[in-house]
Amino acid sequence: MLSVDMEKIFDEAFCNVTKKLVNLELKKICGVKEESFFAEGYREAIETHGYLNAKIICWFSDGLFHYITDMMNGGTTPSEEEISLFLNEYINIACGYAVSKLNDMAGHSSRLSIPYFFKGLEKMGEKWEIYGGKSLLYHTEVGKLYILVKYSFQNE
């Protein structure tokens, strides 16, 4: 069984990708209840399959969501039809970074699913109910990000 610090791998992935893609520093928050993060905002959900089986849910405050999508679109707000595509791409890159590192460490492969975008308080459905897992909470000068990762390895 692979011994990894999933929190560290996902922390590094999201911090590095956010800095490189949109020139924004994620500052980790400790000692805050996750429930305080759930309000209106935007959520992305993605899975991995293979050696690593995981569900990853990211909640973005309104300000952070718009900052990321605008910056990824060259500094202008994307059209309503395109806006979720930019956040999907951000999630693909950040989670791909983490999964690639895990694949290299394990010598096995896992792959990402297509990300799912949820606006406001739209219900995510039972598929995305996660109990337990690793939580990462961040604040930035433009908003907040909450990441929840629930995982298992194929041989567990």
Question: SS3 helix, strand, coil % of the chain, rounded to 5?
Answer: 40, 30, 35
Query: Average pLDDT of 15-39?
Result: 80
Helix axis angle for 83-106 and 6-22, nearest 10°, is: 140
Alpha carbon distance 86, 69 (integer Å): 5
In single-letter form, the type of residue at position 114 comes to I
- The enclosing domain of 115 has a CATH number of 3.40.1550.10
List the one residue out of 7, 16, 2, 18 whose CA is nearest residue 144: 18
Q: Is residue 75 included in any domain, yes or no?
A: yes
37 pLDDT higher than 60:
no
Alpha carbon distance 78, 88 (integer Å): 13
Q: Is residue 48 included in any domain, yes or no?
A: yes
| Rg, C-alpha atoms of the chain | 15
127 pLDDT higher than 70:
yes
Alpha carbon distance 72, 86 (integer Å): 7
Looking at the chain, the number of H-run helices and the number of E-run strands are 3, 7
Whole-structure pTM value: 0.88
Can you give the residue range of the structural domain that contains 131? 6-153
Q: Is residue 76 included in any domain, yes or no?
A: yes
Provide the pLDDT confidence category of residue 21 given band limits of 50, 70 and 90: very high
Q: Is residue 33 included in any domain, yes or no?
A: yes
> How much is the mean pLDDT over the chain?
87
- 17 CB burial (10 A radius; 0-12, 13-18, 19+): buried
Q: Is residue 1 included in any domain, yes or no?
A: no
22 pLDDT higher than 70:
yes
**CA 74 remoteness from chain centre:** 21
Q: Is residue 52 included in any domain, yes or no?
A: yes
Specify the DSSP element, H or E, that contains 154.
none
Provide the pLDDT confidence category of residue 118 given band limits of 50, 70 and 90: confident
39 pLDDT higher than 70:
no
Count structural domains, the chain: 1
Q: Is residue 114 included in any domain, yes or no?
A: yes
Query: Average pLDDT of 7-17?
Result: 95
Query: Average pLDDT of 140-156?
Result: 86
Q: What are the φ and ψ backbone dihedral angles of 110, each rounded to 5 degrees?
A: -135, 155
